């Protein structure tokens, strides 16, 4: 199936001189997601874990909430110039009782790897009401456990080690046990993949987990966390103002600049306790 890395020639310039050599890059290819044969959206992604990506995307859009909402997922016969299957078109068959909300998945243009939320017709469409309201109670997360998670995530970024060009998302238990990691050129795709894994494993809602992302926390990543019932989102980099607003509205604990032994807690600080 689709490769996750590719080789391209590069001219490397250093103080010691120049050298031409092949470089390993992360693959970026389009994936069209269809619902019962009808086109829904196209996203630019790194091939691999496409079925999980589709499940996670549909969960975040409010189209599905359980694994049983999907009857089957199959690749369609998209082919390249040589006639080989590109594995870039995925058709999802929904259960008969699944109702697709108006505007779900609607994009004004193709979703890029840099921005998944761009092109929504209105902010109201993005603020989809989750079917998994975030519980106020539940296990607290210690500072020590939380600060250990980015390093654990980084250690599992195998494709990033080769290419330096992928985002990652990981799901952890409150005591710091890593459940799953997914990588992708798009940060929103990485989150969709790991949430899709959780959905297919019947772990949603994810009220007893922490979602950690390798970059910044955008509004869309916060929205995806809320839609899956995640109680805590931690980002290595900064959150956006709208992500903080959404987290406050939804009761999501949002942590930014989670590096080393430090962090900024923007919302839901009561879920984090000092000590080991």
163: pLDDT confidence band, cut at 50, 70 and 90? confident
Least confident of 65-69, 136-140, 232-236: 136-140
Write down the pLDDT at residue 276.
58
- Show the beta-strand stretches assigned E in the chain: 5-14, 17-26, 29-35, 38-45, 70-75, 89-94, 141-142, 167-172, 178-184, 210-213, 232-235, 253-259, 262-267, 272-273
Write down the pLDDT at residue 263.
97
Active site residues: 115
Yes or no: say if 76 and 91 are a contact pair by the CB < 8 Å rule.
yes
Please state the rounded mean pLDDT for residues 175-181. Answer: 96
Contacts of 246 by beta carbon, 8 Å cutoff, 6+ apart = 127, 219, 222, 223, 226, 252
Yes or no: say if 79 and 36 are a contact pair by the CB < 8 Å rule.
no
Please state the rounded mean pLDDT for residues 225-242. Answer: 95
Length of the chain measured in residues: 276
User: Looking at the predicted structure, is the pLDDT value of residue 120 above 50?
Assistant: no
Strands 70-75 and 89-94: antiparallel
Measured distance CA(276)–CA(257) in Å, rounded:
20
Tens digits of residue pLDDT in 8-22: 999 999 999 999 999
Measured distance CA(201)–CA(28) in Å, rounded:
27
User: pLDDT over 70 for what percent of the chain?
Assistant: 85
Structure tokens at 195: 């949430």
CA angle 112, 114, 115 (to 5 degrees): 70
Provide the b/e sequence for 64-76 (b: ≥16 CB within 10 Å). bbebebbeebebe
State phi, psi for 113 to the nearest 5 degrees: -70, -15
Write down the pLDDT at residue 157.
81
Measured distance CA(11)–CA(149) in Å, rounded:
36
Write down the pLDDT at residue 83.
65
Measured distance CA(233)–CA(217) in Å, rounded:
8
User: pLDDT over 90 for what percent of the chain?
Assistant: 67
Write down the pLDDT at residue 121.
42
* CA nearest to 170, candidates 152, 186, 158, 143: 152
Beta bridge partners of 24: 7
Contacts of 269 by beta carbon, 8 Å cutoff, 6+ apart = 253
Give the dihedral sign, CA 94/96/100/101: negative
Predicted structure pTM score:
0.88
Tens digits of residue pLDDT in 242-257: 999 999 989 999 999 9
The three state secondary structure string of 49-117 is CHHHHHHHHHHHCCCCCCHHHEEEEEECCCECCCCCECCCEEEEEECCCCCCCCCCCCCCCCECCCCCC
User: Looking at the predicted structure, is the pLDDT value of residue 162 above 90?
Assistant: no
Write down the pLDDT at residue 118.
46
Contacts of 253 by beta carbon, 8 Å cutoff, 6+ apart = 231, 232, 233, 247, 265, 267, 268, 269, 271, 272
């Amino acid at each position: 199936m689709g490769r996750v890395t590719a080789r391209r020639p590069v001219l490397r310039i250093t103080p010691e001189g120049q050298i031409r050599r092949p470089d390993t890059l992360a693959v970026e290819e389009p994936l069209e997601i269809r619902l019962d044969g009808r086109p829904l959206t196209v996203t630019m992604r790194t091939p691999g874990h496409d079925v999980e990506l589709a499940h996670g995307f549909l969960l975040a859009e409010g189209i599905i909430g359980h694994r049983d909402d999907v009857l089957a997922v199959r690749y369609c016969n998209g082919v390249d110039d040589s006639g080989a299957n590109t594995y870039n078109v995925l058709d999802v068959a929904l259960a008969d009782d699944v109702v697709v909300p108006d505007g779900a998945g609607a994009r004004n243009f193709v979703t890029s790897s840099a921005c998944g939320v761009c092109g929504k017709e209105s902010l109201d469409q993005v603020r989809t009401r989750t079917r998994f309201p975030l519980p106020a109670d539940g296990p607290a997360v210690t500072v020590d456990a939380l600060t250990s998670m980015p390093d654990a995530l980084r250690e599992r970024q195998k494709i990033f080690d080769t290419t330096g060009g992928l985002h990652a998302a990981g799901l952890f238990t409150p005591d710091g046990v890593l459940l799953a990691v997914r990588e992708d050129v798009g940060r929103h795709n990485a989150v969709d993949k790991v949430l899709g894994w959780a959905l297919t494993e019947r772990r949603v809602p994810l009220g007893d987990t922490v979602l950690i992302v390798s970059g910044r926390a955008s509004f869309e990543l916060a929205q995806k966390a809320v839609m899956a019932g995640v109680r805590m989102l931690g980002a290595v980099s900064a959150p956006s103002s709208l992500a903080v607003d959404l987290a406050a509205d939804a009761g999501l604990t949002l942590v930014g600049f989670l590096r080393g032994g430090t962090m900024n807690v923007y919302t839901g600080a009561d879920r984090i306790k000092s000590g080991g």
